[in-house]
Amino acid sequence: MTILTIELPDTVFSALQADPQEFSRQMRIAAAVKWYEMGKVSQDKAAEISGLSRAEFIDALSEAQVSPLQITSGSLDEELSDAD
């Protein structure tokens, strides 16, 4: 496992009213949710990044008001054309 070190001012932890460990956990989840929403990572990879199970990640998506179904009209058309 790779360990990343990020320097943050001490004052940022109060933004989420969290200690550094909890802040780090929330930051991983927030990044994974955003990257998933943007279509940069799959749901499975986002769950891995966030440190959550897939079911827990789907719950995190719900809390962030992000749909767990990331399908575009183009990808739907492609899927439907492959079904023929």
pLDDT higher for 52 or 80? 52
d(CA 84, CA 79): 9
pLDDT at 75 over 80: no
pLDDT at 79 over 80: no
- This prediction has a pTM of 0.81
Looking up tokens 């992000």, which residue turns up?
A: 66
Domain chopping of the chain, boundaries: 17-83
pLDDT at 64 over 70: yes
Decide: 34 and 57 in contact? Cβ < 8 Å. Answer: no
Contacts of 51 (CB under 8 A, 6+ apart): 25, 28, 29
3-state secondary structure of 42: coil
pLDDT at 84 over 70: no
Identify the pLDDT of residue 45. Answer: 97
Q: What is the pLDDT of residues 7-59, one digit of tens each?
A: 999 888 888 899 999 999 999 999 999 999 999 999 999 999 999 999 999 99
Identify the pLDDT of residue 28. Answer: 96
